Every structure is written in C-alpha cells, then in structure tokens.
Amino acid sequence: MRILLQNPNNKLFVCRKDNWTPSAHLAHDFRHSQQALDFVRTQKLKDVQLVVKFDDAQWDEIVPLPLVVATLSERASL
C-alpha cells in the first residue's frame, strides 16, 4: 500500500517538495496518512486529495481532504 497526494484538478501527484508528476509510480510515498497530512499542512496545500494505492488497483481509494487541513496548527487534532 502507498499513500500519495494528488491535485484533483490536474491529477498530478506530489513527487518532492515542489515537484509534481503525472505518474503514481514516481510519486512520493508518504507511508502513513499522518505524514501526508503533515506535509499538506507545512506546505499549505489547499487543493489536494489523499490517494491510497494498493497492488491490486481495484482497491485504490481517493480521500478528499478538507481545506482546513492546510491551516490547522500542528497541535490541533484531526
């Protein structure tokens, strides 16, 4: 299982801090949803969704993230 971040409009995935890729295979694997959420918050990303990719694509899941994630303080609980 891989945890990715994707822009829902252009379908690009986060590759590195300021780089995006159309390939899910080249996208950065955050490994845990909390790491992905922390990245969204620190980078102040507003238009992003969490994508959970499995070996079998039929189980892939897209989770829209609320805009407030980018503005939450690090001490706030989700």
pTM for the model stands at: 0.81
CA distance 67 to 58: 27
Domain boundaries, the chain: 2-70
* Confidence at residue 72, expressed as pLDDT on a 0 to 100 scale: 52
* Confidence at residue 68, expressed as pLDDT on a 0 to 100 scale: 53
User: Are 27 and 4 a contacting pair, CB within 8 Å?
Assistant: yes
* Confidence at residue 69, expressed as pLDDT on a 0 to 100 scale: 56
DSSP 4-59: EEE-TTT--EEEETTEEES-TTTS---SSHHHHHHHHHHHT--S-EEEEE-SSGGG
Write phi, then psi, for 76 (nearest 5 degrees): -70, 145
Extract the residue ranges of the chain whose pLDDT is less than 50: 70-71, 73, 75-78
